[in-house]
Chain A
Amino acid sequence: MRQTPSQTAGPFLHIGMMPDTAPLALARPPGEAITLRGVILDADSAPVTDALIEVWHPESGWARGATDGQGGWRLAVTRPASAPFVSLWIIARGINTPLSTRLYFPDADWQDDPAMALIPPPRRRTLVALRGADGAYRLDIHLGGEAETVFFDI
């Protein structure tokens, strides 16, 4: 059987995926609680205000969030003990098939991760978060343009 094709989530994904009444949630696994945040920008550096982002790693648990009026997102998870990254999954109006990327922790051995070896060196930094004064790990995601984020085919 052939895979069911993807279609964009459109601009109203919040109705099904971020309902106020019963948000979908999973308990956070035990471990170091961390906050991930950033903005999502399009190829013209305009904020993407109708995106949804999900984070997943077997040790971090799962969380999702929608971008706000400035394209900002924020997610609370557990820091994986044995991996230098978590996986990010992004959908929005105009994204026909979901985009997969990773957030690497700047204070982990991200240089040695096998996936990094597949990325041209100048682009590797697009996946490495910065640690803000608030302790959150910040990664801005560029869907296009000069600073385009590396996306994976997984």
Chain B
Amino acid sequence: MTPLDRTRHPPALTPGYFSSVTRAPREGLIALDPGEAGMTGPVFGSQAIGPLDDDLIRNAALPGEQAIGPRILVHGRVLDESGRGVPGALLEIWQANAGGRYRHARDGYPAPLDPNFSGFGRVLTGEDGGYRFDTVMPGAYPFPNGPNAWRPAHIHFSVFGLAFAQRLVTQMYFEGDPMIARCPIVATLPTVQAVEALTARYDPARDRPMDARAYRFDIVLRGRLATPMEP
């Protein structure tokens, strides 16, 4: 397995994101070969996916109703570092509603809940690593981090690849959002290229006309080390 590229991921301690200060280990990490436990991983098949898990517009809606908000679809591929698609990867998805409110006991933001939206989704990649789900554009919301901090519109992703060492948790942002550059959590990313990699592109070729706009977000997991050439 290729190593976790620490020039690509945020460091543990990022004082501009206040929550990291008491939750960042200060001792150095002990470098370890991933070993057997890291090279294998839990495998979740299609039985982990409910019939409407890839449709956040309808999966928590009352009969005949739908979630409120700008209708979008998000699609892309899960790849390894050599560009090969990762089939059978499980994506867990969660997000705020169109007003920026989470259906969560600890979210006190006054934007109203949508009775037809839970913000939960799950999808499995196909043979080529491709995935797609339907949802509504999440709203921006404030969070306690100094006098005035806001999260850009974003969707949370948790990804299971083929190995435990490929486990990834991240967030997807939307092209053109002026809040991206102002967010203290986005600012934990080490480079502008890392921010770009988390920014989904509007993809009009995949729009569903008169229905939903499409955004493309590819996800690259750690890859297998190159195997030596056959003699």
Q: Which residues of A contact B (CB under 8 A)?
A: 1-17, 19, 21-22, 24, 26, 42-44, 46, 48, 50, 54, 56-58, 61-62, 83, 86-87, 89, 91-99, 115, 118-119, 123, 143-144, 148-154
Contacts and interface: CB of A to CB of B under 8 A. Distances in A.
20 contacts: A2-B81, A5-B190, A7-B198, A8-B19, A8-B20, A11-B104, A17-B92, A24-B48, A43-B22, A43-B23, A58-B40, A87-B164, A93-B23, A96-B10, A96-B12, A96-B14, A97-B11, A115-B32, A151-B25, A152-B29
Given A12-B106, A22-B50, A44-B22, A3 B32 contact: no
Nearest to A86: B37
B23 A153 contact: no
Given A58-B36, A96-B12, A143-B23, 7 more contacts: A1-B82, A4-B221, A6-B9, A8-B20, A16-B156, A97-B4, A151-B30
B164 A3 contact: no
A24 B42 CA distance: 11
Contacts of B35: 154
Most-contacted residue by chain B among A11, A12, A26, A87 (CB, 10 A)? A12
B25 A5 contact: no
Contacts of A7: 10, 169-171, 185-186, 188-189, 198
A46 B218 CA distance: 37
B181 interface: no
A52 to B, nearest CB: 9
Contacts of A119: 30
A23 to B, nearest CB: 10
A91 B44 CA distance: 20
Given A9-B169, A16-B156, A46 B44 contact: no
Interface of B: 3-6, 8-12, 14, 17-27, 29-38, 40-42, 44, 48, 50, 53, 79-83, 90, 92-94, 102-104, 106-107, 118-122, 156, 158, 164-165, 167-171, 185-186, 188-190, 193-194, 197-198, 218-222
A148 B27 contact: yes
A7 B197 CA distance: 12
Given A1-B83, A16-B121, A153 B3 contact: yes
Per CB-CB distance, the 4 closest pairs between chain A and chain B, nearest first, are A16-B94, A94-B19, A62-B42, A94-B23
B9 A16 contact: no
